[in-house]
Structure 1
Amino acid sequence: MTQFASLNDFADAEDMLVSIRHHLHQNPELSNEEEKTAAFVAEKLEAWGYDVTRGVGGHGVVGVLRAGQGNRSLAIRADMDALPIAEDTGKPYASHVRGVMHACGHDGHTTMLLGAAQYLAKTRNFSGTLNLVFQPAEEAGGHSGACAMIADGLFERFPCDAIFGLHNHPGAPAGTALMREGPLMAAADSATITVHGKGGHASRPHLCIDPIVVISSIVLALQTVVSRSVDSTQTAVVTVGTINGGTATNVIGESAEISVSIRTFTPQVRDLIKARIETIAQTQAATWGATASVTFDSGHPPVVNSAEETAFATEVLRELLPEERVLECPLIPGSEDFAHYLAHKPGCFVRLGNGEESAGLHNPKYDFNDGSLTTGAALWARIAERYLT
């Protein structure tokens, strides 16, 4: 019977993984600036015998390893970039770069995939082609590294039958995995609503059309979009993030503006909410004799895990971990650019527990849990071995 990678196989590698993770944590680089991180990753992969391509979609690195005669191919992705946040963890390995830190755990994601890469290069217990994708600029919003790598021919240059990725999950116990078939993480869109009224003196509002009053009525009306327009069995979020208007207390301005964050999990609800926002803005403005313009900025689509690959990954996790440590993941209203890969290829995005006491993502006190490093490395090694059998 074929033996596949287990947690025990990585016990001796734990110190090395912690050392790599701390090095990456101390030397964070922002989106599209990951030159040193990419070089570090590429040098490791080349030393272990991978065929390495640098500069894919910016600072992206792809390491390819072939073994046996199998004709299947697999991609596994890790992100590498950090955030413009000043670290406040007090850790001895805290960031050496002022105002920049790994506040989302990408240092851990990169380390876990490197751990699997070293193990698989030694054992080569698979048959087929393994593509390890180290992605830049996950935090770059609509111009993310996933989009850039895909546009740079990722799937044409490095064909794969499926793609897998993961993200750490603060609040869930370390050493647990959270799985969900279908929609997992939300689409992230935004809207900007600008109301055009008629300015004048604050003491004579009857001669004006006050855009702040109009924009206030729009803000209140938007609170009903989810509760009164979206099917109650569906999930969505509409949040007004900014409101701007006016220049002085004795002046009624010509215009006011709000920005809106929209989170949805299905194309139908996504389209519905955009239509409702447009209608509310126009009709509320018309009620006051004003006009409104609405512009939408489409962000990442939802992360939708395909059924077969999710079942496969869940099965592998249940082989690797005690069954009670493989949990069902709730819907996550945050977004993730891994969604763009899943729009092209079947695959699965896994959430890995970062500890119940972990600070939240994008928080100055956040730190990746080193206790998860061997779990993630073993998961990727076993996924590769099992998929490329």
Structure 2
Amino acid sequence: MELQKRIKNLAQEYAPYFIAVRRHLHKNPELSFQEHKTSSYIRGQLEDIGITDIVSVAKTGLLATIKGTSVERAVLLRADMDALPISEKNVLDYTSKIPKVMHACGHDAHMASLLLCAKILFGIKEEICGTVKLLFQPAEEVMPGGASLVIKENAYRSLGELTHIGQHVQPDLPVGKVGFRSGKFMASMDELFLKVIGKGGHAAMPENTIDPVLMAAHIIVAAQQLVSRVSSPKTPSVLSFGKVIANGAINIIPDEVLIEGTFRTLDEEWRKTALEKLEKMVTAIAEGMGGKCEVKINHGYPSLINDRKLTEELRQNAVGYLGAENVVDLDVWMAAEDFAYYTQRQPACFYLLGVGNREKGIHSGLHTPTFNIDESALEIGGGLMAWLAVKALKS
């Protein structure tokens, strides 16, 4: 308990500085695989802490090392770095100064929290029974995902098997609380692009056309059978079409309609089957109505599966650090995360850090132009991650 108290005291002492770090990052966001200034800034922060074992990974990412008293065990702590193509609507001293780019998913907080964690761990490295790897990973927000590149790097592959821990802010959780879920937690994500091709013409003479708008309507409705009738009710699935372009007019039936959407599930076998069935279904519908449908599927992140034994251990250690009343059990989340690539290969746990505070008006969702966090969460997030890393190396 003496070490836990020491970590909490250090987190409290260092938090104001890393709140300023978070604000700097928030003010200077960079898009996926463009995090050059962010990477340089993070490297400088690590060197200021005293960490010099730093290598570049996945173009703009960094993998740093803190060595404790043993080299037999290792744990990897990950933060993502990229921002989103969103115009910020918050009016703050640290509002994004980059037009149409914003840290609307909390990656600025993830980086600041991991840097705070790094400073704590470097200060107590004589108490660490192993090696801590700090991964600042680029491009979580775009496919193929920075994690898919990291796992191919020699610097990463040479690490072998080791525990992976990831933390993500969640405005739906009040500040002061964290959430865990063992087993299947987050969904896979695939991008769907359909081109429905017919024959356009005058809207007043539909008999002379092969109407792709009508075909598209049938396809959109019928495709929902995949999740309502073909899929088992015990397997969470989401099929959503968010973009439909029929570039005709009130009196013009167009030649083609473009449909874009996403398919998500928590079961990798069903994922494969569902995408095959989807392609057969939409092409058959179009052909049956006299047209055709071209299908392109961009295969994205796999489902995220938290190691049950590790997650339960980390959950109990979080209870010891924060108190049982501040550790909650999470439901499945149909969002996608490229941290899933690590969970498919390594013993890993991805958990959520509460950053919401309705009394302060901080409750906007992730990926919105008014997203913000209660910055007191950084002290909790940085300290907790340091504690979890220390305990994971001892277990």
Q: Does 1:230 align with 2:235?
A: no
Amino acid at match of 2:353: L
Quick one: which of 109, 125, 128 aligns to 1:126?
Answer: 128
Matched position secondary structure for 2:352: strand
Amino acid at match of 1:153: N
In the TM superposition, what whole-angstrom CA distance separates every residue of 1:32-75 from its partner, at most 9, and x where no partner exists? 12122211211222233323334311111111011213401111
Q: Which residue of 2 aligns with 1:247?
A: 248
CA, structure 1 residues 279+107, in 2 after alignment: closer, same or farther (shift >3 Å)?
Answer: same
Superposed, 1:191-340 pairs within 5 Å as 191-340=192-341
Q: Which residue of 1 aligns with 2:176?
A: 175
How far is the alpha carbon of 1:255 from its aligned partner? 2.5
How far is the alpha carbon of 1:203 from its aligned partner? 3.3
- How far apart are the structure 2 equivalents of 1:6 and 1:117? 11
Matched position secondary structure for 1:90: coil
- How far apart are the structure 1 equivalents of 2:173 and 2:251? 52
- How far apart are the structure 1 equivalents of 2:376 and 2:25? 16
Tell which deviates more after alignment, 184-193 or 155-164: 155-164
Q: Does 1:385 align with 2:390?
A: yes
How far is the alpha carbon of 1:163 from its aligned partner? 0.7
Q: Which residue of 2 aligns with 1:366?
A: 371
How far is the alpha carbon of 1:300 from its aligned partner? 0.8
Q: Which residue of 2 aligns with 1:353?
A: 354
In the TM superposition, what whole-angstrom CA distance separates every residue of 1:250-309 from its partner, at most 9, and x where no partner exists? 443332221121111111331232133223212322331222222211111111111121
- How far apart are the structure 2 equivalents of 1:171 and 1:183? 20
Q: Which residue of 1 aligns with 2:14?
A: 13
Amino acid at match of 2:237: A
In the TM superposition, what whole-angstrom CA distance separates every residue of 1:319-373 from its partner, at most 9, and x where no partner exists? 1111021111111111111111222211100111111532111111111221111
Q: Which residue of 2 aligns with 1:56?
A: 57
Q: Which residue of 2 aligns with 1:376?
A: 381
Matched position secondary structure for 2:143: helix
Matched position secondary structure for 1:37: helix
- How far apart are the structure 1 equivalents of 2:18 and 2:247? 54
CA, structure 1 residues 127+34, in 2 after alignment: closer, same or farther (shift >3 Å)?
Answer: same
Matched position secondary structure for 2:83: coil
- How far apart are the structure 2 equivalents of 1:213 and 1:69? 66
Contact kept, 8 Å, 1:60 with 1:136, in 2: the verdict is yes
Matched position secondary structure for 2:116: helix
Amino acid at match of 1:285: A
Amino acid at match of 1:76: L
Contact kept, 8 Å, 2:197 with 2:212, in 1: the verdict is yes
In the TM superposition, what whole-angstrom CA distance separates every residue of 1:187-244 from its partner, at most 9, and x where no partner exists? 1112222223233443332233211111111111123321112211221111111222
Matched position secondary structure for 1:345: coil
Contact kept, 8 Å, 1:78 with 1:135, in 2: the verdict is yes
- How far apart are the structure 1 equivalents of 2:331 and 2:357? 16
Contact kept, 8 Å, 1:190 with 1:259, in 2: the verdict is yes
Contact kept, 8 Å, 1:58 with 1:149, in 2: the verdict is no
Identity %: 32
Matched position secondary structure for 1:237: strand
Superposed, 1:98-109 pairs within 5 Å as 98-109=99-110
Contact kept, 8 Å, 2:356 with 2:373, in 1: the verdict is no
Contact kept, 8 Å, 2:7 with 2:120, in 1: the verdict is no
How far is the alpha carbon of 1:164 from its aligned partner? 0.7
How far is the alpha carbon of 1:315 from its aligned partner? 1.5
Matched position secondary structure for 1:370: coil
- How far apart are the structure 1 equivalents of 2:369 and 2:102? 8
Amino acid at match of 1:93: Y
